[in-house]
Amino acid sequence: MQELGRLEDLPEDYRAALTEQNLVPLWPSLRSVLPPGKPALRTKPTFWSYQGLRPLLLRAGELTPIEKAERRVLVLANPGHGLEKMQASSTIYLGMQLLQPGEWAPSHRHTPNAVRMIVEGEGAYTTVEGEKCPMRRGDLILTPTGMWHEHGHDGDQPVVWLDVLDLPIVYYCEASYVTEGKAQTVISEGTEQAYQRGGVVPAPMFVRSRQTFPMLRYPWVDVRRTLEALAASQPEIEAVQVAYVNPENGHDCQRILGFSALMLRPGEKLEMPARSTAMVFHQIEGAASVSAEGHRFDLAEADTCCIPGYTPITLSNRSAAQPAFIFIADDAPLQKKLGVYEVRNY
């Protein structure tokens, strides 16, 4: 590839004249914005241990009252982006949120989309646009763009969940903002039960739901049962994996980030081809390892890691006796809309 002229090759007075008029020569920077064959990746393979962060999160509960935090969160930041950027990848924000018994995180709505993957504890709930969503371990709860949400806790133990947001990309678009509101009135609960069986959807008087986000809560008991049924009924399948989708139309459940759950059968090793998306892996149950680019992360329950895009990944179940269940987040919906999504078989 032809080496291009450098900034230093240009006369001082010419560079000053360009700057004066807010102009920049492209050629000194062309190779860095368009590197050959593969993007320059800032996202670094990064691991966050739940046992490591848990005491610090509980200590935040003592140090900072909920009124002074609104959302009491430790952000899982990728050093490749700079910790202060609060990014796990170019598009994904991750945070571990703590709610103590009796606490309330007030209602607001914002432009970034959020999902919550519940990690531990009982008795907390989040209310999304009037739908009360109980939080149990492994449940996925959506808070799509613009929808009111608040969190409460009637139990007696700490509740912790993983927040996954598309905040970095919405912020980059200069489109990230919040509106504060007053406490919501609960108008429904358990509406996801109408979508428990694939293949049938509510159609009262022949009319289908017109809601953009008809299902807000994906209970882990149902997802886990589906994975086990898939493994039992299709033993030859390449990967025991399900996607979290909109049950009315089968599309990704949110517009920017995509979510799936994967079961590694006892002793299973799964080679995943390189995809253009960075990926987040969060261990719901069991123990797995995630290997990529010479790194190997051993995930125990509630551990989380991130692997950059364009990287082949090997997942292994570390147990020969028990299945391992992993929650996966990526930005494939966004990349597909942009037309830049790729799978590479090196």
Residues in contact with ligand 1HN by CB under 6 A are 71, 73, 95, 97, 105, 110, 114, 149, 163, 165, 167
| CA distances from residue 110 to 9, 143, 187, 217 in whole angstroms, order as listed | 47, 9, 21, 19
Cβ neighbors of 88 (< 8 A, separation 6 or more) are 43, 46, 76, 77, 78, 94, 278, 280, 306
User: How far is residue 84's CA from residue 187's CA, in Å, rounded to a whole number?
Assistant: 39
Please say which residue, 167 or 263, places its beta carbon nearer to ligand 1HN. 167
Please say which residue, 105 or 315, places its beta carbon nearer to ligand 1HN. 105
Q: How far is the CB of 257 from ligand 1HN (least distance, A)?
A: 13
Please say which residue, 82 or 266, places its beta carbon nearer to ligand 1HN. 82
Please say which residue, 92 or 114, places its beta carbon nearer to ligand 1HN. 114
Please say which residue, 218 or 297, places its beta carbon nearer to ligand 1HN. 218
Residue type, 274: A
Take residue 123 and report the two structure tokens written for it.
Answer: 């008795």
Please say which residue, 166 or 252, places its beta carbon nearer to ligand 1HN. 166
Q: How far is the CB of 279 from ligand 1HN (least distance, A)?
A: 20
Query: Is residue 8 helix, strand or coil?
Result: helix
Please say which residue, 105 or 256, places its beta carbon nearer to ligand 1HN. 105
- Of 107, 111, 121, 35, the closest CA to residue 70 belongs to 107
What DSSP character marks residue 3? Answer: P
Please say which residue, 97 or 311, places its beta carbon nearer to ligand 1HN. 97
Take residue 274 and report the two structure tokens written for it.
Answer: 């390189």
Residue type, 190: G
Q: Where are the alpha helices (DSSP H) in the chain?
A: 12-20, 30-33, 50-63, 167-172, 220-233, 332-338
Instruction: Compute the Cα dihedral for 124, 126, 131, 134 and give only its sign.
Output: negative
Please say which residue, 150 or 268, places its beta carbon nearer to ligand 1HN. 150
Q: How far is the CB of 213 from ligand 1HN (least distance, A)?
A: 16
Q: How far is the CB of 226 from ligand 1HN (least distance, A)?
A: 27
Q: How far is the CB of 138 from ligand 1HN (least distance, A)?
A: 18
Q: How far is the CB of 193 from ligand 1HN (least distance, A)?
A: 24
Give the 3-state DSSP-derived string for 66-98, with helices as H, strands as E and coil as C: HHHCCCCEEECCCHHHCHHHCCCCCCCEEEEEE
> What strands, in cross-sheet order, belong to the sheet with 240-243?
46-48, 304-307, 279-285, 324-330, 258-264, 240-243
Q: How far is the CB of 175 from ligand 1HN (least distance, A)?
A: 13
Take residue 220 and report the two structure tokens written for it.
Answer: 């882990």
Q: How far is the CB of 294 from ligand 1HN (least distance, A)?
A: 32
Q: How far is the CB of 190 from ligand 1HN (least distance, A)?
A: 21
User: How far is residue 261's CA from residue 242's CA, in Å, rounded to a whole number?
Assistant: 5
